Structure 1
Amino acid sequence: RPGVSTHAGVPIVSPDGSLDARPGDDSVVFVLAQYPVADPLARYRYVVRRAQEPPQPGPAFDANRLVASHHGYFTDEAAMAEASVTRIVSGGEARALPPVWLAHAEVDDNVPTEITEAFVSAYGKAGGRIERVYFPGARHGFMQQASADTDKSVALMRDFIGRM
């Protein structure tokens, strides 16, 4: 959100790769979102609940690490609520609704489907154009490893950009 004091002075990477903290054009032409945490408070409450569960076998999901990450980034739950893109869009506070391409992994322990679906619904109801692509069997972070899903995601993002 432009003008929010917590983001003041955060440098922006310019097209030439340099860092720029000067005021400038804050418009966004499109958004590519890979398994986004669109509602930090909902995600925080989810991982707090998950931290109470016994450890599960299989790929590592560390709810306590995610709880600590929220505490490290946000001052409190009010700040998490304030940062919720879903809340901003639902409340009519968004200054613009650029087209969004969003990937969601089926097996996402970090960002459950309900959080993503709430954002997709809010964005559409607000009049925004959003394309959600579901990746069956994929896990959160799948784009960090070479795979057929990664290749598919890159191809779909390129196609989306080409239509802008």
Structure 2
Amino acid sequence: MAASGGIGLSAARMFRPGVAHATSVPSYDPGARFDLAVSEVELRRNSAGRVLMARIYQPKGPGPFPTVLDLHGGAWNGKSRFAEEPMDRALAASGLLVVAVDMTLAPEAPYPACVQDANFAVRWLKANAATWNGDTSKIGIYASSSGGHVAELLAMRPRDPRYNSIPLASVPNVDATVAYVAMRSPISSTFARYENAERRGNEGMMKSNKMFFNPWETIHESNPQEILERGEKVMLVPFLIMQGALDDNMLPEIQEKFVSTYRAAGGECDYHLFANSVHEWVAEPGPQTDKARDMVKEFIARQLKFD
């Protein structure tokens, strides 16, 4: 792990996101059950010419339903909107409009391209969620692994000109602020995770990092851990971080350092360590997967009640 010594924590600034569009939040019962309508629409075409799609999981009911954006993992180099389909379906079936989006992959364009996609997706959802009976007064994010890294950057820097550079002509004045972020195994310290890959001799992971962080110094500029330690002016929204105790990809001690730093900077961060769980434990059915789904639902319910 990079030596840092907690530099500048007192200088980190906390901002709460403003309410977008609606003046009240729809009720949400995490124990509810809805049938779903699943559809797909085009989000945008990226610089490589690939059409990025959005997969819509819409509860069948009167609504409107609180809206959640899903950002997939894949070490910034792989996967798509389908990566977290079981979690997306579980969340949507409880009465949430869940929208999973493709993001630009590192072989197409390095950092910050996928963060720009996520920023655009938030603004696009704020403009279009009503089409699928969604409410965006408190739009939130669910994200996994490298998608969690993207989500942390998006939440902490929603108005960063590097990230909101893709125009949305229909609503030019809508910003990308979000109300909360729920994550599974987020890459909260990019450089520490790379050093772990070096120690393990994980050539594939090292290559994925070098493909994405190009030029290499962006691994520090875009490191959520180091952003806080530098005392950057950031927005601090409530986080939920779920971490596998057996994760050898993003080590628990690295994650726990980030949680401590985020809290010290003034942010709220619920942290839960899942026993006997690896990096992608939610990919397999089982008690710990069920626990993770319930935990995300309960966290979202609390955020929607918060004023």
Instruction: Give the TM-score category using the shorter length.
Output: 0.7 to 0.9
Deviations 1:76-107 (A, max 9, x none): 44111111111112222142100000001000
Q: Does 1:144 align with 2:276?
A: no
- Could you say which residue in structure 1 is the equivalent of 2:38? none
Question: What is the root-mean-square deviation of aligned Cα atoms in Å?
Answer: 2.2
- Do the aligned partners of 1:35 and 1:104 also contact (CA within 8 Å) in 2? yes
Q: Structure 1 residues 9, 131: closer, same or farther in 2, change over 3 A?
A: closer
- Could you say which residue in structure 1 is the equivalent of 2:117? 10
**Letter of the aligned partner of 1:39 in structure 2?**
S
**Letter of the aligned partner of 1:10 in structure 2?**
D
- Do the aligned partners of 2:181 and 2:238 also contact (CA within 8 Å) in 1? yes
* Structure 1: runs of 5 or more not aligned: 52-62
Whole-angstrom distance in 2 between the partners of 1:103 and 1:93: 25
Whole-angstrom distance in 2 between the partners of 1:149 and 1:10: 31
- Could you say which residue in structure 2 is the equivalent of 1:65? 204
**Letter of the aligned partner of 2:117 in structure 1?**
V
TM-score computed with the length of structure 1 as normaliser: 0.81
Whole-angstrom distance in 2 between the partners of 1:115 and 1:136: 16
Whole-angstrom distance in 1 between the partners of 2:272 and 2:167: 34
- Tell me by how many angstroms 1:9 deviates: 5.1
**Letter of the aligned partner of 1:27 in structure 2?**
T
**Letter of the aligned partner of 2:244 in structure 1?**
A
- Could you say which residue in structure 2 is the equivalent of 1:85? 224
Deviations 1:102-156 (A, max 9, x none): 0010000100112101110110100101000110000101111212111101101
- Tell me by how many angstroms 1:28 deviates: 1.6
Aligned-pair identity in percent equals 26
- Could you say which residue in structure 2 is the equivalent of 1:111? 250
Q: Structure 1 residues 78, 112: closer, same or farther in 2, change over 3 A?
A: same
- Select the structure that is richer in helix: 1
Q: Does 1:28 align with 2:134?
A: no
- Could you say which residue in structure 2 is the equivalent of 1:58? none
- Tell me by how many angstroms 1:64 deviates: 1.4
- Do the aligned partners of 1:102 and 1:131 also contact (CA within 8 Å) in 2? yes
- Could you say which residue in structure 1 is the equivalent of 2:97? none
Deviations 1:23-81 (A, max 9, x none): 53121200111111111111111101110xxxxxxxxxxx2111111011111441111
* Structure 2: runs of 5 or more not aligned: 1-110, 132-165
SS of the aligned residue for 2:217 comes to helix
Q: Does 1:40 align with 2:190?
A: yes
- Do the aligned partners of 2:210 and 2:216 also contact (CA within 8 Å) in 1? no
- Do the aligned partners of 1:9 and 1:21 also contact (CA within 8 Å) in 2? no
Number of residues of Structure 1 aligned to a counterpart in Structure 2: 148
TM-score computed with the length of structure 2 as normaliser: 0.45
